[in-house]
Amino acid sequence: MAKLDDSKTKIKSNESRKYFYFAVFVLIVLIASVFAFVASKTDFSPEIALIPIHGEIGIDDSADPVEITKLMEKAEKSPSVKAIILDIDSPGGAVVASKQIADVVKGAKKPTVALIRDVGASGALWIATSADKVVADYSSITGSIGVSASYLSFEKLMEKYGITYNRLVTGDYKDLGTPYRELKPEEKEKLMGQINFIKEQFVTAVAENRNLSKDFVENLSDGSIWLGYEAKNYGIVDVLGGEKEAKELAESLANVTNAKIVRYEREKSITELLTGSESSFAYWFGKGFGSEFLKVKQNLAIDA
């Protein structure tokens, strides 16, 4: 009787093992099926990040260097992103902000292509030339290599209405650029020295970025604007075209094919969503012509 009980126990044990192995097999099949389904729905194509640089360049402006730097860092860290396209539509802006973005672009570890849409002038051109390659349309507005500084002067108007400017300063240059009096000759000379220093940085950067002689770029730095095809003749632009050509160039630099464009954009405030871009109407003329109408700034502003 004991042997019969042992035999029954062994049979039950074998049957339990069979059920266990069968359950494990079913579970493995289910897991494999889930992974196969997810894989079939997942696109593992290489990506190209498209980062916008639109509007006025400056802190808290449309093209904020802090926000653009964050997007660049995000694209650099993503293993799926193989190259970066800078989608530029800007007349330029603040000197330091433009240089900050240009430095980030130049220091990128992944291939970079600048795509100039309607406008890529002044500080925006500085940024564009910091990329590995530059693409622009035949009719894109580029150029405007130079620096501008401007201020309003109300002394004649004040004189007409009997308004007096009482000057109390701790240094001769403390109120340089005030609208209530004319600039003295030595003040103009001092200001022009600073402007020329910044222009020198601009010219040097473009020459180095585009592998051009400094004298050649210096001859171009009269503030003139050019169309895309002219910029290509000058060696500032590599390829004439649009997003398609920029994508092909980025793929070539990254040695990938069939990449998909992924747009990297900062979150817009509710005000921006409701009002749109305030600077678009000034794009046609580049920074040197249109930026004064974009917004009220401090009286003396130096821009690129």
Are 95 and 59 in contact, with CB atoms under 8 Å apart?
no
* Residue in the structure block whose two tokens are 């289910």: 30
* Residue in the structure block whose two tokens are 């240009």: 102
User: How far apart, in whole angstroms, are the C-alpha atoms of residue 96 and residue 134?
Assistant: 22
The answer for residues whose C-beta is within 8 angstroms of residue 79's C-beta and 6 or more apart is none
Three-point CA angle 268, 128, 203, nearest 5°: 130
Residue type, 264: Y
User: How far apart, in whole angstroms, are the C-alpha atoms of residue 191 and residue 197?
Assistant: 10
Q: Is 45 a catalytic residue?
A: no
User: How far apart, in whole angstroms, are the C-alpha atoms of residue 148 and residue 157?
Assistant: 25
CA atoms within 13 A on the CB side of 116: 40
Residue 56 is classified by DSSP as -
Compute CA distances 121 → 77, 165, 235, whole Å: 29, 38, 15
The answer for residues whose C-beta is within 8 angstroms of residue 256's C-beta and 6 or more apart is 46, 82, 83
Residue type, 223: G
Catalytic residue among 174, 188, 214, 260: 174
Are 140 and 117 in contact, with CB atoms under 8 Å apart?
yes
User: How far apart, in whole angstroms, are the C-alpha atoms of residue 91 and residue 297?
Assistant: 16
Q: Is 98 a catalytic residue?
A: no
Catalytic residue among 122, 130, 144, 279: 122
List residues with catalytic annotation.
Answer: 122, 174
